Structure 1
């Protein structure tokens, strides 16, 4: 017997589409319906529109977040939270874009945010500093993952034979070499060797250590 259509099935179908083609702007209710082999109007009984679909997808992501156990101090606990969020967003296609384009109105997200704010509050952070810290951590995580995602898209275009992009890479390297831009050259070499997650965690450590002077 065929399973009944549900919001959960619709959300999973949407994620499957994004795994096949990770371009959120091209995701549509019609394509989700085709993926499920149903008529498009049937979806609207469960999900009002694309924005509602994105909200449900964001909630699905957040529901799989595993909060770390408290560590020896606030800094290590926040560090663990951010590492878990990093791992979580790597598991879902377009996760950061979905987060950016939705409102955190679902229970799991609100509970997790409140827990992080509580950790900072207990450590002696003011409301202002707590807000600045949470916002900065989110920008650091989102920015780094978004940059990595876009870079992969450019890389795939180069590998697919985009001559213009190949030329830009060659011109960049030539300019750095010809003008002996040592600092950029060393920075590029470091970036090529450093793994993305390791770089994020090191950057996170630098940021958290810098907060000591404010607490």
Structure 2
């Protein structure tokens, strides 16, 4: 490739285009199939052109984690800490749900980018202002973060499993409910009795329940 054409190709690319293309590929095929070559092919360019803008795939993952955090709106700091974390928890979850395999993107990268650091800063500030001790704040923030990440991972896994079976999620859940209902009452009385509640398509309600349980426990500890 001559230098003039190469420079033109570099100039036509930017990190925003690369990141959006990577997101589109992940949402279609999953993170495991993401490669610099695949991104380059989707952009009708060469892998070498990507390396003009990014050092390696790890930097791309870092930028993807930054993109997730960039879409998060932070709650009004004048609100009660409990209410702030409820709002932030929902915001964080929705941001994660926007990109398939976001759990892996977040857990396989170190928080080093501005918006991701700002997310941690805001959680720390909320907890410190609530009265949590300095030693407890990082551990509490990690617990909050891990709950949200793990919940979203399970949500996405359910969708993935249903898709493999060629089913909509609600259909897969209904099949699972019927399976629990059909179990031996003598062997699994609790599973049969609670089948309607064990398999639920209402992820919003489940997430809200878990978030309140977590924060209720933290509130109790705070008041000790």
Same fold (TM over 0.5): yes
Matches within 5 A, 1:1-215: 4-21=12-29, 23-70=30-77, 72-159=79-166, 173=180, 176-193=183-200, 195-215=202-222
After superposition, what is the alpha-carbon deviation per residue over 1:167-214, rounded to whole angstroms, capped at 9, x for unaligned? xx69x6487335352322344311434511211111110111112222
TM-score, length-scaled by structure 1: 0.86
Provide the secondary structure at the position in 2 that maps to 1:68. coil
Q: Deviations over 1:56-97 (max 9, x none)?
A: 111112111111223541111111111111111112222221
TM-score, structure 2 normalization = 0.83
Unaligned runs of 5+ in 2: 1-7, 168-175
Deviation string for 1:122-164 (max 9, x for gaps)? 111012322221111112111111112122222222237xxxx
Distance 1:141 1:176 in 2: 32
Seen in structure 2, the aligned counterparts of structure 1 residues 186 and 146 have a Cα distance that, compared at 3 Å, is: farther
CA RMSD of aligned residues (A): 2.6
Q: How many residues align?
A: 208
Q: SS of the residue aligned with 2:213?
A: helix
Please, which runs of 5 or more residues in structure 1 have no aligned partner? 161-168
Provide the C-alpha distance between the structure 2 equivalents of 1:52 and 1:196, rounded to a whole number of angstroms. 32
